[in-house]
Structure 1
């Protein structure tokens, strides 16, 4: 069975993915800040058929804790077949425009912390010469929009970093997939005025992610129709785009 490291394991999308893998009897090393919720999720996965489950508390913005987390994971699982990086927040764009410190902190959480983790994980896979690094970015990173360009810029950095990492690791037999969810019904988006027809459920997004990882996809929009939506949005000339309320 697969041995899976999930960072940001309390996120709705990550847990939905873990449920699918649990049904296959996979082993898990689950990482998050909220240990109470993490333990609850672990119990849920165990009930659904998971094998070994270990948990680890980590604030991903404390970069000094990353190596110890990986060491503990390897001590528990022995090897890693799949890493799912799924942590993040949805910043208040208006607040970030007013407070530089908040903007920087949100960029660190959603962008820099991912970029800090990836080389550490990549070095392990470089030696192992197999495995999958699956990284949750976002459709928001495809083009900066007035409503969320702080979040979008962090995710754009993640996507670009993954493009380069993917090309490097491909030659070593390591699979890197960039996952770009659209609107998903999660606690992070609760209360936002989102168009109902475009909002997906975490279980549906997770099914696409798990299948995409198994198929060794390189870039994955979830749901898939977001690939077409973002193609249109990227194609809009900037003189027109800046006049749109997006």
Structure 2
């Protein structure tokens, strides 16, 4: 249910995620379900309710949702989290298509590594962005009515390369 007791809104930001423990998720379906529910199911249900409300209201509104570059290609090190974020990105793509004829703008944000409590202490991180930079990129992309934002910008090119690696080679990589 959407609550506008504080007055009408013109922007909704959906920003939550749970990295979880990939090894635990590989062996424990409850751990896997927690990752999937936190990153996809809950977000999709919230967005579905919101979309129904926004279609009826039909006033200019922005929807910004945080996915991840992890959702662009399944990697052995985080495919539970990545598949949930990939599912969210596809859901947002469909939602954007559904709402294209309305005054609702949907922005999918795909950040790389961001210096947050979720990434604190993780090994092997590179090109870690400060949250302030990511926030500035999001504001700029929203104002420019972009559909998808990779942030920082170089992640678009990194993921383009990663996605272009043939599966027979990719499955041998330790990513």
TM-score normalised by the chain length of structure 1: 0.69
Please tell me whether the aligned partners of residues 183 and 194 of structure 1 are also in contact (alpha carbons under 8 angstroms): no
Which residue of 2 is the match for residue 86 of structure 1?
15
Of 165, 170, 173 in structure 1, the residue corresponding to residue 95 of structure 2 is: 165
When the two chains are superposed, the root-mean-square deviation of aligned CA atoms in Å is 0.9
Contact 1:126 1:172 in 2 (8 A): yes
Structure 1: gaps of 5 or more residues: 1-66
Cα deviation, residue 151, structure 1 = 0.1
In the alignment, the residues of structure 1 paired with residue 117 and residue 47 of structure 2 have an alpha-carbon distance, to the nearest angstrom, of 26
Matched residue pairs, number? 174
Matched, 1:99 2:23: no
2:19 and 2:33 map into 1 onto residues whose CA distance is 13
What stretches of structure 2 of length at least 5 have no aligned partner? none
Greater shift after overlay, 187-196 or 148-157?
187-196
Which structure has the higher relative contact order (CA within 8 Å, separation 6+)? 2
Task: Decide whether the 8 Å contact of 1:139 with 1:226 is kept in 2.
Answer: yes
The reply on whether 1:178 has 2:108 as its aligned counterpart is: yes
> What SS is found at the alignment partner of 2:75?
coil
User: Residue 90 of structure 2 aligns to a residue in which SS?
Assistant: helix
Q: 2:151 aligned with 1:222, yes or no?
A: yes
Q: Which residue of 2 aligns with 1:131?
A: 61
Q: Give the alignment's TM-score, normalised by structure 2.
A: 0.96
Structure 2: distance between partners of 1:122 and 1:109? 19
1:135 offset after TM fit, Å? 0.6
- Indicate the residue corresponding to 2:134 in structure 1: 205
Name the larger-Rg structure: 1
1:171 match: secondary structure: coil
CA distance in 2 between partners of 1:125 and 1:100 (Å): 35
SS in 1 for 2:163: helix
The structural deviation recorded for 1:98 is 1.3
Deviations 1:188-212 (A, max 9, x none): 000011344x110000000000111
* Aligned pairs (5 A) from 1:106-121: 106-121=35-50
- Structure 2 counterpart of 1:146, from 55, 68, 76: 76
Q: Per-residue deviation at 1:128?
A: 2.6
Dislocated runs of 4+, deviation >4 Å = none
